[in-house]
Amino acid sequence: MKKLLSEFKDFIQRGNVMDMAVGVIIGIAFGAIVTSLVNDIIMPPVGLLLGNADFSDLYINLSGTDYASLSDAKAAGAAVIAYGSFINTIINFLIIALAVFFMIRFVNNLGKLTKKEEETAAEPTTKECPFCLSSIAIKATRCPNCTSQLDAE
C-alpha cells in the first residue's frame, strides 16, 4: 500500500499531470463562458430573427398532454425530446471548436516565426580558408591571415 501511494504521489507531481489539470480547469471555465455567450447573447437575436423562437424551450412532447413550456413538462415528469437544448449545445461546440482552431493556428504561426528566426540565425557567418585553414568572414575574398586570394563563391 505504501509503494502504491508513493507511485501515485510521483505520478501527481509530474509536470504534465499538473499542466493537464490546469488545462481541464481552464477548459471548464471557457466552456461556461461560451455557454453564456450562446444562451445569453447569440441565441436571443437568432430567435428574434426566427419569429421570437427560444431554442432552449423547443421540445417534442411524447406524453400526449399539452404543456405551456419545457420546464412545465419536465416538472410534470412528461417524456420530452428537448431538441432546442441540443441545438444550443451544437452551437456551443462549434464556437469552442472555432476558438480552439484559431488558438492552434495562432500558436502554429508563432512557431513558424520562431523557426524562421532560428533558420536566419543558423546561417553561417564564417568559412574556412582553404590554404591556412583559419576561420574567416564568409564574404571575404582574401584571407586576412595568409593573404591568399579566395575564389568568389
pLDDT tens digits, the chain, 153 residues: what are they? 888 888 888 777 776 777 888 888 988 888 888 888 877 888 788 778 877 666 778 889 898 888 888 888 889 989 999 998 888 888 878 888 888 788 888 888 887 877 666 666 667 888 898 888 888 888 888 888 888 888 765
- Per-residue confidence (pLDDT) for residue 38, from 0 to 100: 79
Report whether 78 contacts 67 (CB < 8 A).
yes
CATH class of 2-122: mainly alpha
Output the pLDDT for position 81. 92
Q: For the chain, how many residues are written?
A: 153
Q: What is the pLDDT of residue 118?
A: 64
| Residue in this structure with the C-alpha cell 582553404, named with its chain if needed | 130
The residue behind cell 471548436 is 97
Position 116 scores a pLDDT of 66
CATH 1.10.1200.120, the chain: domain bounds = 2-122
Cβ neighbours for 11, distance < 8 A, ≥ 6 positions apart: 17
Instruction: Give pTM, 2 decimals.
Output: 0.52
